[in-house]
Amino acid sequence: MPDLTHCPTCYRLAQVLKTRRREVATLSIGHFIAHETQLFCPHCVGRPVFVASELHQRVPRGARYGYDVMEQVGRALFLQARNTKQIQRELGERNITISLREIDYLGRRFIVYLALAHRQSKDRLKGLMASRGGYILHLDGTCEGDSPHLISSIDELSRIVLGNVKLPSENADQLIPFLRQIQQAYGNPIALVHDMGSAILVAVKTVFPKIPDFICHFHFLKDIGKDLFGHEEGTLRRHLKTYAIRSHLRKTAKGLRKAIEADPGALDCLQRYLKSTLLGEAMVAPPPQVAAYLIISWVLEAKQACHGFGFPFDRPHLDFYRRMHEAYPTLKALKATMRQDASLPLLAISRTLADRALETTAARMQDKVRVFDRLREAMRIALPDSRKGLNDEGEGDIATIKEHVSAFRYSPEIERLAETTTTYHNMIKQIDKYWEKLFADPIKVTTSDGTFTVQPQRTNNIMEQFFRGIKRAGRKRSGNSALTKMLKTMMAQTPLVKNLDNPQYMEILLNGTTTLAERFAQIDIDQVRRAFADSQVSAQRYPKGMAKVFKQPNLPEKLATLTLKMAA
């Protein structure tokens, strides 16, 4: 029954509108039958309806599963990366029977409720960021295959995800409305950090024309390297593939390992050698077949020497070629000491190394890599001896970095190379073009606690780490390495779940309640249904029912016949 029996407006006795039985389920109670009575006032304008608030605080109107079940499903899906079968089993242990399809549905409803609660909290979130002196807006997007682009924005200072959007492609016309929404909700940022995407650059300049705008040093270097020796990298890869040299080496390594495992003495020697702390200074030289196996494996696994930055910071094809060049004389000497029937791919290696075009390409690329690594050293980021991989945010202060990059840019060697070689000339143009966006001076901000300075991060790694987390969770849930399907079906506001680990954000979002279930119960169900319907429409690539069209044979002929018939 409703909490009141009389209309709160006219104070007359309310009348029964309808009664019904609902089968519902909550974590706190389990499955139960709710007998619901709705009252109304026939005397007031609009004939207001009064419902049982206790039931609607537990279960959304018209739904079967309670808010606490939805919260449990949402947290399991998006924070713990559980798949639907695991969640079904866990809920079953709590006496909640639910289908896999319903779990997926509740997960999507969870995101809609979270997005609405986030939107309702924007003023308090704006106040939080203002207390820190403002916000530094980091922007980035991700996609895979032919999936839509998922664009997200994060405040560097509070680490709060501010907004997200899914776009068919990353272009300025579609990014501008998204940035205007961020601006309308939170005001202008004190600075922006992003990659060098032309669409983001145009959109940012349009929406935030007077705001300090910086590009990520890591992305800048990545772009410089690709332009500088990307052609050589592709040429090197194609030539090595033509000679099928890796296939020859793998086949030889497999044969040598089989021979070693069949010889107890050789196997024991290999194992003792591998346990040695000084591999290159073992007390006893390994037998020729063991040495050949180690050397060929070392050449094949050149990529293991990479540092996890990806190309152009890591150059596995060049490293492979250089190791092969280094290994060839030793393998040739080992061959002379091995049995007559022992096989080493000396001819295949010799033919590969004899390719003058390949040798010239590798030498030219090596020269360009040396220059590129000098720039890396000047910018103090993604250094060759770093062990941080893609989490590297650089080291050193901006003033010193700016001084070192300037010394690199105007060094006699670089000036000479730029005059004679197009790629070096383009490198200089790139540095000059983005000079003002590379070096962010500390920004003075004023808060209630006084004036202080904020130094924007010089990388967009906060976004890279954010997207890696989303993709890692997606792979864990689905068991698939490819995420094209996930990005196609994911609701645009799903990244907001990352905020649920932020205590300050949760305090603002909950707004006095103790759980998300209680907070969600405060949101108007009609608003939720409209938002859910809108999200379903935006997620569909084609109108509903188009699937049967795709299966039709001879569709053009059928449509032409039908069109002519209608015209007649």
DSSP H or E run through 388: none
Is the confidence at residue 389, as pLDDT, over 70?
Answer: no
Rounded to an integer, what distance in angstroms lies between the CA atom of residue 440 and that of residue 215? 9
Q: Where are the beta strands (DSSP E) in 143-252?
A: 149-155, 161-167, 191-194, 213-215
Q: Give residue-wise pLDDT tens across range 220-258.
A: 999 999 999 999 999 999 999 999 999 999 999 999 999
pLDDT number for residue 271? 85
Q: Give residue-wise pLDDT tens across range 257-298.
A: 998 899 888 888 888 888 775 555 555 677 888 889 999 999
Rounded to an integer, what distance in angstroms lies between the CA atom of residue 380 and that of residue 401? 7
Contact criterion met (CB below 8 Å) for 221 and 376 = yes
Query: Two tokens at 186?
Result: 């939170």
Q: If DSSP codes are grouped into helix, strand and coil, which group holds residue 522? A: coil
pLDDT band at 539 (very low <50, low <70, confident <90, very high): very low
pLDDT number for residue 543? 59
Contact criterion met (CB below 8 Å) for 70 and 520 = yes
Rounded to an integer, what distance in angstroms lies between the CA atom of residue 209 and that of residue 214? 13
| Partners of 348 in the β-ladder | none
DSSP character string of 297-351: HHHHTGGGG--S--TTT--HHHHHHHHHHHHHHHHHHHHHHS-TT----HHHHHH
In the chain, what is the straight-line distance between the N-terminal and C-terminal CA atoms, in Å?
Answer: 63
Q: Where are the beta strands (DSSP E) in 75-173?
A: 136-142, 149-155, 161-167
Query: Two tokens at 564?
Result: 């002519």
Q: If DSSP codes are grouped into helix, strand and coil, which group holds residue 152? A: strand
121-212+457-492 is a CATH 3.30.450.370 domain? no
Query: Two tokens at 511?
Result: 């707004």
Contact criterion met (CB below 8 Å) for 1 and 14 = no
Residue identified by tokens 């305090």 is 507
What are the structural domain ranges in the chain?
Answer: 121-212+457-492, 217-439
Contacts 24+ apart (CB under 8 A), 352-355: 352/239, 352/240, 352/243, 352/245, 352/324, 353/324, 353/325, 353/328, 355/239, 355/243
Rounded to an integer, what distance in angstroms lies between the CA atom of residue 442 and that of residue 440? 6
What does pTM read for this prediction? Answer: 0.81
pLDDT band at 500 (very low <50, low <70, confident <90, very high): very high
pLDDT number for residue 91? 94
Residues 6+ apart with CB under 8 A from 427: 224, 227, 228, 371, 418
DSSP character string of 392-459: ----S-HHHHHHHHHHHHT-HHHHHHHHH-HHHHHHHHHHHHTHHHH-PPPEEEEETTEEEEE---SS
Is the confidence at residue 132, as pLDDT, over 80?
Answer: yes
Beta pairing, strands 443-447 & 450-454: antiparallel
pLDDT number for residue 388? 63
